[in-house]
Structure formats: structure tokens, C-alpha cells
A = this chain, B = another copy of it.
Amino acid sequence: MAFARLAILPTYKVVSDTIEREILAGRLTAGDILPTETELADQFGVTRHTVREGIRILEQSGLVRREAGRRLYVAEPHYGDLAPRLSRAMVMQRVTFRELWEVSMDLEPSAAAHAAVRIDADRLAQLRANVMATEQALAAGASIIPLDVAFHILVAEAAGNRALLLAREPVTQLFYPALERLFTHPKTASVGPRRLIEAHRRIVDALADGDATLAREWMRKHMVDFRRGYDTAGLDLDDALEATAAPPAAPARR
């Protein structure tokens, strides 16, 4: 007979796995305060430093959080925590604009369609405010890109599907630099933003009417426009995306 290879894990990994298991099993739930590092070290029978390495791992997956210098508590991982890492992975694999666009072509119209039947008054108001803010930003010569990104997030949130949110977030984060190039390019800077706002307005109207088909269709057109602008600007669909600093990464602690 032959033995299988032993799975020997470093202690810090065992520490993080153990705490993770408690959280996933529901014995520790969001908001619970974890024991101090010293206590954990005593309980596990390891050094505090080993515990700390384990904690670093848990922090990365968003399962626990700590506000600078304070006690550790259990948290529900938010998609905003995980998306940046996925985005970076895509950048490193030199994902192209075409690939991103294809995925968005599936998810964004679908998000709009779902939103049409599930949206509530509150979020509808937020969307209207977003469209107005976009118009004002354009008139004032400010960048409309953050508002555009926010618009699509609002629609996705209105769709009431958290799996959809998680799937689309890393993709749309990467559109940021592409949009930047688009709206500063001489060939597309003049007409692009107007068509964008027009599309956004039509989508909001369709959502307000609860018209899923129309919402889907306008979102689809909006995405096609995006790609056409990319072509018009003479940019290559199959170029790899460039690395970019996380754009909406407002720390906003406290």
C-alpha cells in the first residue's frame, strides 16, 4: 500500500482556518468581538505572532475586520472588499477590453431588466439624482466617469441580486481607465457624454415604468454605444487593459 501525501499546514494557516470554520459554521456571527491576540495565543497554545499571521489572512478575505489599533470583530465580507483583488488578477492576465465588454453585455442589460421589476422608490430617486448630477458635471466640465460608474452600481443594486453584484463589480472597476480615455479623446469627447446621459435617462424612465424589456434594450444600446465609441476613438479592442489605482476607493472610515 501507499500513503497519500500528508497535508501539513503551517500553524498560522491552521489558526486562520480554525477561526474561519467557526465563522462559517455560524458559531461566530457578524459583529462578534474576537478574543485579544494574547488570549487567542493562549487558547491555541501558540505564540502571539503566529496568531497575528493568521489574522492577516482572515482580514484579507473580509471575514474579520479591525479599525486601526482596536479589537478584532467578525464581519460579513462585502463585495467591495473582494472586487479589487479580482480586478488586479484580470489586469495581470492582460484581459482585453473585448473580454470585459462581452461580460458586461450579458450582465448589465440583465441587471436593468431585473431592476425594472424590483426597484423601490428610494433607489429610483437616487438614480434620478445621479442623472441630474451627471448633467451638471458635464455642464461644469467635471469628470462624469465616477457618476457613470455609480449609475451602473445603483442599477445593479436595484436588481436585488447579490450574486450579480459580486460578478459584475470587478469587471466594471476596470472600465474606469477605458472610460477615461474615451471621454478625453477628441473624436468621442464631444458627443459621447451626451449619448451616455440620454441612455441613462431612458433607462431610469423604463425602470420607473417597470418595463423590463425596455430597460434591458436601452441598457444594451448603451453598452453597444460604449464599444462603438471605443472603436471610433481608434482604440484597439484587443489591447490589454492598463493597471490603474483603485478609483472609487474612498476609505471613508468612521
Contacts and interface: CB of A to CB of B under 8 A. Distances in A.
Top 10 A-B residue pairs of the complex, sorted by shortest distance between their CB atoms: A60-B60, A77-B89, A56-B56, A99-B163, A167-B167, A106-B106, A99-B161, A106-B110, A61-B85, A103-B163
24 contacts: A5-B253, A8-B68, A24-B88, A24-B243, A25-B243, A30-B92, A56-B56, A60-B61, A61-B85, A61-B88, A77-B93, A79-B89, A82-B82, A89-B166, A90-B166, A95-B162, A95-B163, A103-B161, A105-B110, A106-B107, A107-B167, A166-B170, A167-B167, A167-B170
Contacts of A92: 23-24, 30, 63, 76-77
Interface in A195-247: 243
A99 B162 contact: yes
Interface of A: 5, 7-8, 10, 12, 23-25, 30, 49, 52-53, 56-57, 59-63, 68, 76-79, 81-82, 85-86, 88-93, 95, 99-100, 102-103, 105-107, 110, 114, 161-164, 166-168, 170-171, 243, 251, 253-254
Given A78-B89, A90-B162, 5 more contacts: A7-B251, A8-B68, A90-B166, A99-B162, A107-B167
For the complex formed by this chain, how many copies does it contain in all? 2
A4 B99 CA distance: 38
Contacts of A79: 86, 89
A16 to B, nearest CB: 9
A224 to B, nearest CB: 15
B77 A82 contact: no
Contact of A5 (B88, B90, B102, B254): B254
A105 B167 CA distance: 13
A237 B84 CA distance: 30
A251 to B, nearest CB: 6
Contacts of A253: 5
